A = this chain, B = another copy of it.
Amino acid sequence: MSATIYDLAKEAGVSISTVSKALNDSYSISEKTKKRIREIADSMGYQPNARARSFARKKNGIVIFAANLSRGIGFENPHLFEIVTGLDRYLDERGYSLVLKHVTREDAPVQIKELMNSEEADGIILHAGILSRQLAFVLGKEAYPHLVIGKPDFPNTLSWIDVSHEAAGQIAADYLLDKGYRRIVFLMGDSNDDQISLRRLDGIKIAFEEEELSIETITGICDYEKSREITETILERKRIPEVILCTNNYLALGCIQSIRAKNLSIPKDIALMTFDNYPFSMLAQPTLTAIEVDMYEMGNQAARFIVQRIKKPNLQTQSFCTTPILIEREST
């Protein structure tokens, strides 16, 4: 059992309130007393009891990260954990703890409401994947510190932070146009599900329209296999495009396979570029030019916001964060 302030008080010959104030660096305690009490605390290996402290302070220094943490997610979406790492590091440094909570989209409204009412945490960060209008309503009603990671796809009054996929798209397009490429095909997933790609496409279009050009977009390409197939048909055209731009590494891999099968060379016969640097654009043959996003940094930013909100619950943050970076490699 660890020492309490009662033990310290007895040892120091003062009252517990003096001890408490001394340890919390209150202005009303003399430096001399503070120093003495701190020394005693050290020598007795005193650690304030976190539970009692939380109770008395009405704060526990906990921030929840709520997301759908399904089996395999670590492999499927390491970005998520890069965010978590960024969150955790910032919070740790400031004495906060990050709690992970698995929440599904369906259960979120009820569960999140319970979390807020029980005051289990001082604030909550939510992954946009579990967001619904209903949840937005729950969050909007209370003045509970929150932040959504990912831009909600409906009107709301929530605080959120996101990667600027539009900027990423624009950077990619600008780069390709600068290199002199004109006939470009963009491969992405279902136009209903793949919101991220749509936003990238918005950015791409902006860049193209500036040059009075347009981009060919093929949707419904949601995996490696589909990408191989579509690339095959693309390569059978009389006039093949100059570049294929893929919305992720897996699609790019499909392209590589098909291009190689045709004995074409990248980037001589056709260039290739991808969004995301993960998981193997640096390992592919040839290595792929890619647009990378710093998710760790975004986690950091998010943590910064939530801590701010915990301290000043009334200010609303509706923000936008981005650092897409272009990594030029062999494939363009």
Cα distance A295–B81 when bound, in Å?
15
Is A55's beta carbon under 8 Å from chain B? yes
Q: Are B102 and A99 closer than 8 Å at their CB atoms?
A: no
Closest residue on chain B to residue A103 by CB atoms:
B92
A47-B117, A85-B70 known; A98 vs B99 contact (CB < 8 Å): yes
Which of A72-80, A155-163, A177-185, A303-311 lies at the interface? A72-80
Q: Which residue of B lies closest to A52 (CB)?
A: B55
Which A107-126 residues sit within 8 Å CB-CB of chain B? 114, 117-120
Which residue of chain B has the shortest Cβ distance to A88 in the bound complex? B100
Stretch at the interface among A23-31, A192-200, A265-273, A276-284: A276-284
Q: Are A85 and B71 in contact (CB under 8 A)?
A: yes
Is A43 in contact with chain B by the CB < 8 A criterion?
Answer: no
> With A69-B89, A283-B224 in contact, do A2 and B55 touch (Cβ < 8 Å)?
no
Instruction: State the CA gap A78–B48 with chains docked (Å).
Output: 35
Residue of B nearest to A87 (CB): B100
Q: Which residue of B lies closest to A279 (CB)?
A: B279
Size class of the A contact interface (CB-based, 8 Å) = 35 or more
Chain B residues with CB under 8 A of A219: none
Contact present for B85 and A69 (CB under 8 Å): yes
Bitwise interface map of A from 47 to 63 toward B, beta carbon under 8 Å scored 1, else 0: 11111101100101010
Given contacts A89-B102, A92-B102, 7 further A-B contacts (CB under 8 A): A72-B296, A73-B85, A74-B78, A75-B279, A78-B81, A250-B283, A253-B283
Name 12 A/B residue pairs within 8 A (Cβ), A-sorted. A47-B117, A49-B118, A52-B55, A54-B54, A62-B99, A70-B85, A72-B296, A74-B81, A75-B279, A78-B81, A89-B102, A92-B101
The 9 closest A-B pairs by CB, nearest first: A74-B81, A47-B117, A74-B82, A55-B55, A50-B120, A74-B78, A81-B81, A47-B118, A2-B117
- Enumerate chain A interface residues (CB-CB to B < 8 A): 2, 45, 47-52, 54-55, 58, 60, 62, 69-75, 78-82, 84-86, 88-89, 92, 97-102, 114, 117-120, 224, 250, 253, 257, 278-280, 283, 285, 295-296
